[in-house]
Every structure is written in structure tokens, then in C-alpha cells.
A and B are shown apart, each in its own frame.
Chain A
Amino acid sequence: MARFIVRRIVGMVLVLFAVSVLTFLIFNVIPNGDPAVRMAGKNSTPAQIEQIRKEWHFDQSLPQQYAFMMKQIFTGKLVSYADQTNVWEQIRMGLPRTFALGIGAAILWMTLGILLGLYSAVRAGRFSDRVLTVLALIGISMPVFWVGALMNYYLGYKAGWFPNGGYVEIAQGGIGEWLYHLILPWTALAILFIGVYSRILRSNILDTINDDYVRTARAKGISERRVMTRHVLRNSLIPIVTLWGLDFGLVIAGGAVLTESVFDLQGVGQYFAEAIGRLDVPPVMAVTLLGAVFIVVLNTVVDIVYAVLDPRIRLG
């Protein structure tokens, strides 16, 4: 276990290095990527641009610039090129919003995914199963920016049932307002995953139900309900639970960018998207590294949970 975690930490350092170098280089080769020119503004003289270049160390060699940026990141002093705000402070403001969106959506899609998948499996081949199959396909095929925009327009703007985007902190508006503002974003983000999870669970259950040990369980004389929950569902859920961890990581580390932007939640994802639009490297770099850390950590947790749920798996 200790060896496993040490190995993962070493791996994480390598991943962070590779990701940061790549991100750094990409923004250096993009046309119009010279930050000094953009920071100086339209009516600037070459002297002013040269001045900015010196102040912000853009005149140094690439490795020196990279090292400088890494130092700024790890000392928390990184500032945006576009508006000179501290990047970590911006991220700290956005993180609760992103987590509120991601955690809520993950709970929603897991719950509905399990319920619909189980129902579909029990009714396999019947009419209701076919309807759910079609609905799942539709859900999987709808892009979140489209669903989100439709929801926002029809349920928010037109019908007035929901707010037209935005985020309200619990401390300010209470839990009711907070929920009220998050219901549509959660739904929009979860739809795709509900479709995927219910399909995967359905096929897992239908595979498991014919396994020999399920027949053994029936032959024991335990109730059908117990056979389904303790043997079929319990074993079918193992891959779903691990997938859940991975997907949650992906959503937090960038998968929620579109949802946050459509519903104007002002989370880390939206901050990230706006920074890319302005070719503002520091926020992009910081969010990318944070996302990478999050994904590596969550992967490790998922592997440990997997080993707990299925004793045949060894951590290596």
C-alpha cells in the first residue's frame, strides 16, 4: 500500500512536469501569442512593449521563462497577464462553485443511473426497457451546451420557473436559493452520464444474473430480493463505482467548462474558458495543473476503492 502510494506520487510529479511543459510550449507557438504586445494595448510604442517584456521576463530564454512561471505558481504569486489579478485567488473563488456543480451532478447521475439501469435490466426486452433504451441514446447524444441553452431559455427565461443562470452562495441566499440555481445545471450536466451509466449497469446486471454464483445464491433459499441486491447488484456495481470516480475527476478537471459557461456559474471551468479566449497563459497553466493533480489523486483513490470492493484486485 505504501509502495503503491509512493509510486503514484512519483507518477504524479512526472505527469505535472509533462503537462506543464506542453501547455507552456503550446501557448508559445500560437500565432498572436506574444503577451507583451497584448498587454501593452493597441496604441503602444515599441519602447513600451520592450519595457513590458523586460518587466515580465518575456525577454528571457524559454527554459528561464518556464522556471519563472513554475516558481510563481508554487509560491502562489502567479498573476494573470490580462488583468493582473492573482490567479490562485480567482481559482479559490471558483472552486466551491465547480465542486457544488460536480458533486451534485455526480450524485444525481449515479442515483438515476442505478435506478434506471436496474429497472431496465429487470424489465429487459419489455416495452419499458425499450423506451428507456431510446431515452438513454437521446440523452447520450445531446450536447450539454445545447441542452443547457434550451433549458435556460424555455424553463428559465420563458417559463420563469428557474433563474436565468447565475450562482448564489448558501451563506448569502440560503440553501433554497442555492438549490434553485443549481437544479438546471445539475440536470444538464447529468443527462449524458445518466444515459451512459444506466446502459452499462443494465448490461452488467444481465451478464451477472446468469453467473453460476447467482444460481448458487438462489439454491441457498434466500429471498429473490436478497439475491438481487447482495449478489447481482452488488457485483454489477463494482465497475460503475470506479467509473464514477474517474468521471467525477474529469468533470471537476474541465468537463464542466461548458455547463458552467452556459449557466454563468463563475466556476473554475468558466474562468479557464475565459482565460483561453484571452490567451492568458497563467490561469490556463494553473487550472491545468490543478486538474491534473485532481485526476491523478482521484485515480489513486479509485484504484484503492476498487481493491476494497473486489478482493481479487491487487494494488501494484
Chain B
Amino acid sequence: MSEPILEIDHLQVDFRTDEGVVHAVDDVSLTLAAGEVLAVVGESGSGKTVTAMSLLGLNRSPNATFRGSARYRGQELLTASEDELRRIRGAEMAMIFQDPMTSLNPVQRIGDQIAEQILAHEKLTKAQVRDRVVELMERVGIPRAAERARAYPHEFSGGMRQRVMIALALSCSPSVLIADEPTTALDVTIQAQILERLKELKDETGTAIILVTHDLGVVADIADRIAVMYGGRIVEQGTTDEIFYDPQHPYTWGLLGSITRIDRDRAEHLPSIAGLPPSLLDPPQGCHFRARCPHEFARCTEVPPLEDRGAGHPDRCWLTVEEKRARRVVEGEIGLATKEVAA
């Protein structure tokens, strides 16, 4: 693997709220190599979006504190000034947001919104910018791009708007593309098109991608590595093959078990993980997943460190590799057994 262009070390993000301090991200370390696709997977509130936003300083506020370090090509991002960040945003690291319906300014023309980013980072003439905008829109698969650049967001469908967001993100050829749930708000056929497009663009441009999603099914095809987050922590991290074929953390088993599969008979119930994610205002002591985990035992009240326990990739579960490999099989497949709830 080549030198990482992005290194996150022991990132910790807290938000002060009226109810208390929310520990949104707790001790997260990640690296991203040039041209690599890293998927960050977890459910709502697991801290994956906060991690992504922290890199660009988009969630800075008087109530937020950031600890640890995040470096882009050696430059510290967490303490960077707004001016330093501004030069990185859009030009070096660009972001695609979850909801394309609301992520574009409703009263500005699409072309102008893309041009604004190009002009913020490059000195080009009007004609050059216009050509670049049309070329970008064509590249992400928007038909009649020259004409559509003059249209407003409400004249686009959701899928087309997400393409616009991708064109916007790619407009200054960034080294890192952060895609925060880029397909969540889209219907399934459009999801596949957008992912396919992202993959092709990655191959063409060599941009590294951080793909934030709650859907493991989405990442199987595109990701090189996967980090699974739960309750603000990374609970397991490995190559895509390791996560899919040798998952170590019970939460990962649950995620894998809840992927709806088209090649099986329709299950009577959609498989799901019982219980709710923990409150990050007052997280449980020890392992954050313990309350929903059927395999909980005494040691789980201690925080398990993220380390390789013999499987070849790190995870945060006290069980031994042998125990894990035995317990993750439910009815012949990887899954999470239902937790017995005391009456």
C-alpha cells in the first residue's frame, strides 16, 4: 500500500448540548491511501457522518470539541484555520451529501453552483469555466449538459441531482472524495447507477473515496476496505473480503445478517438487530454493543481495545477468534442470534 494521504489518529468529537455532553466520535483511527475506497459503515448516530464532517471542519461550532489528529498529506486539519481549510475544501477534499434534494441552492442555476466552486480555487475565464462545467456534467452522465447547466435544481430528478453533486465534488479534481450516504435518498435502480458512476470515476481519476453508508450491501462491490462503526467507535476494520467472509464483531454479524438477499426465499420477518443504538449522551460502560448482544459476558463491562485477536484484522470484541467463528453461524449463515431478554 502506498503512503496514506489521509491519517486520522484517535479522533474524539464531543458536542455540548443542553442535556449534557454527547460523545459522538470516540477514539477513531483510520487511514486512506491514494486511490483507495474506504467504506465507513454503521447505523444512524454511530458517528460516521461526524467523523467525515470533522475532516473538512464543517461541524465546527462553539459547542464542539475535537481531540486527536487528522492529517491530509501531513497537514493537520483539526486545528487548521478557516482559511487553510477553505483552500482544502472542494479543491483537495470534496464532499457529496446525503440528500440531493436539499443539498443544492434552490434559487441558483446548476451551472452557476458548479462554477462557484471552480472559481473559488482556480483562475479561469468565464468561457473556460463554462466549458469545464459542461464537461463535468457530461462526465457524470447528465444528457444535454450545456442546456441543463442553465436549469434550476427543482427541474432535476433526485438521481440527476446526485449526479450534479458528484460533478460539483469532482470539479477541481480532488484527491479525496467523501461521499456521505450518496445513495440513501435515491431509489434502488438509481442507487446502482450512481455507485457504478462513482466506481468508473474513481478508476478514471484515481480519487480516493471515503464512502459513508449504513448499507453493507452498497459497499461490497466498490470498497477496498471497510470500517464498521458503532456508538461512536470503530468496532471492526478490515479488507472487504475479511469483513464479509470472516467478520469478528457481533455487530458486524448483525449487519451482514440483515442484508436482504434476493437469492433466498423471502423470510417471514426482515432480519434485524433487536434493541436500539446506545445514547451517546450517557453511553454504557465498556462495550457499547453489549446491551444488544446475545453473547454478552462479564468482561464486556471493560472497553475492548481495537486490536487483532488472531483473525488477521482488528476488532473490539473480547471473545476469542474460535468462539466468534462458532457463534456467528445462525441457521447456516452469518448472523446475530436473537438476544434472550429477561422477563
The stretch among A150-158, A274-282, A307-315 that forms the contact with chain B is A307-315
Binds B, one of A82-90, A92-100, A220-228: A220-228
Closest B residue by C-beta to A222 = B120
Q: Which of A15-23, A130-138, A208-216, A248-256 contacts B (4 or more CB under 8 A)?
A: A208-216
A244 to chain B, nearest CB (A): 17
Contact in complex: B107, A235 (CB < 8 Å): yes
Question: What per-residue 1/0 map shows which CB atoms of A228-252 lie under 8 Å from chain B?
Answer: 0011001100100000000000000
- Chain A min CB distance to B103 (Å): 5
Interface string of B68-89 (1 = CB under 8 A from A): 0000000000000010011111
| Chain B residue at minimal CB-CB distance from A211 | B102
Taking CB atoms, residues of chain B closer than 8 Å to A212 are 97, 99, 102-103
Are A222 and B106 in contact, with the CB atoms below 8 A? no
Given contacts A212-B99, A311-B152, A312-B152, contact A220 B168 (CB under 8 A): yes
Q: Which residues of A contact B116 (CB under 8 A)?
A: 217, 220, 222, 230
Complex interface: chain A residues within 8 A of B120 (CB)? 220-223
Is B58 touching A311 in the complex (CB atoms < 8 A)?
no
Q: Does A218 contact B (CB under 8 A)?
A: yes
B88 to chain A, nearest CB (A): 7
Q: Chain B residues with Cβ under 8 A from A224's Cβ?
A: 82
Chain B CB within 8 A of A2 CB: no
* Docked pose: A253 CA to B330 CA in angstroms: 78
Cβ contacts under 8 Å, B86 to chain A: 221-223
Q: For residue B105, which residue of chain A has the nearest CB? A: A213
Would B117 and A309 count as touching, CB distance under 8 A?
A: no
| B95 on the A face (CB < 8 A) | yes
Q: Which residue on chain B has the smallest CB distance to residue A215? A: B58
Does A219 count as interface, using CB distance less than 8 angstroms?
Answer: yes
Indicate with 1 or 0, residue by residue over B285-304, a CB within 8 angstroms of chain A CB atoms.
00000000000000000000
Most chain B Cβ neighbours within 10 Å, of A211, A222, A230:
A222
Let me know if B117 and A222 touch, CB within 8 A: yes
Given contacts A220-B120, A222-B120, A224-B82, contact A213 B104 (CB under 8 A): yes
With A and B bound together, what is the CA distance between A217 and B168 in angstroms? 11
Most buried by B among A212, A213, A217, A220: A220
Indicate the member of A213, A216, A231, A312 with the most B CB atoms within 10 Å.
Answer: A216
- The residue among A217, A221, A312 with the most chain B CB atoms within 10 A of its own CB is A221
Interface status of B67 (Cβ within 8 A of chain A): no
- B-chain residues with CB within 8 Å of residue A310 when the two chains form the complex: 106-107
Chain B interface residue number, banded: 20 to 34
Q: Which A residue's beta carbon lies closest to that of B151?
A: A311
Quick one: which of A213, A221, A238 contacts B90, CB cutoff 8 A?
A: A221
Say yes or no: A309 contacts B107, CB within 8 Å. yes
Given the complex, which residues of B lie within 8 Å of A230, measured CB to CB?
116
Indicate if the CB atoms of A216 and B106 lie closer than 8 Å.
no
Q: Are B90 and A219 in contact (CB under 8 A)?
A: yes
Residues in A with CB closer than 8 Å to B104 are 213, 216
Are A221 and B89 closer than 8 Å at their CB atoms? Answer: yes
Residue pair B107, A219 in contact (C-beta under 8 Å) = no
Chain A hits for B37, CB < 8 A: none
Flag if B154 contacts A312 (CB, 8 Å).
Answer: yes
Q: Do A221 and B58 touch (CB < 8 A)?
A: no
Complex Cα gap A211–B153 (Å): 15
A219 & B105 in contact (Cβ 8 Å cutoff): no
Q: Can you name the residue of chain A whose Cβ is closest to the Cβ of B87? A: A221
Residues of A within 8 A of B99 (CB): 212
In whole angstroms, what is the CA distance A83 to B154 when docked? Answer: 60
Decide: A221 and B105 in contact? CB cutoff 8 A. no
Residue of B nearest to A312 (CB): B154
* A310-B86 Cα distance, complex, nearest whole Å: 28
- The closest CB in chain A to the CB of B178 belongs to A219
**How distant is the Cα of A223 from the Cα of B154 in the complex, in angstroms?**
26
Residue ID in chain A nearest B57 by CB atoms = A218
Q: Give the nearest-CB partner of B117 in chain A.
A: A220
Quick one: which of B95, B106, B154 contacts A219, CB cutoff 8 A?
B95
Which residues of the partner chain B approach A220 to less than 8 Å between Cβ atoms? Answer: 89-90, 116-117, 120, 168
Nearest-Cβ distance from residue A74 to partner chain B, whole angstroms? 42
Contacts of A311 in B (CB 8 A): 106-107, 152, 154
Interchain nearest-CB distance for A67 vs B (Å): 49
- Chain A residues with Cβ below 8 Å from B103 are 212-213, 215-216
Beta-carbon contacts of B225-265 to A below 8 Å, as 1s and 0s? 00000000000000000000000000000000000000000
A213 to B97, CA, bound (A): 9
With both chains docked as a complex, state the minimum distance between the C-beta of B111 and any C-beta of chain A, in angstroms. Answer: 13
A71 → chain B closest CB, angstroms: 48
Contacts of B152 in A (CB 8 A): 311-312
Residue of B nearest to A234 (CB): B107
Q: Whole-angstrom distance from the CB of B134 to the nearest CB of chain A? A: 18
A-B CB contact pairs (8 Å), 9 listed: A213-B104, A219-B95, A220-B90, A221-B86, A221-B90, A222-B117, A235-B106, A311-B106, A312-B152
Given A216-B168, A222-B90, 14 other A-B contacts at CB below 8 A?
A213-B102, A215-B103, A216-B97, A217-B116, A218-B89, A221-B86, A221-B88, A221-B91, A221-B117, A222-B117, A222-B120, A224-B82, A311-B106, A311-B152
Task: Give 3 closest A-B pairs by Cβ, nearest first.
Answer: A221-B90, A221-B89, A220-B117
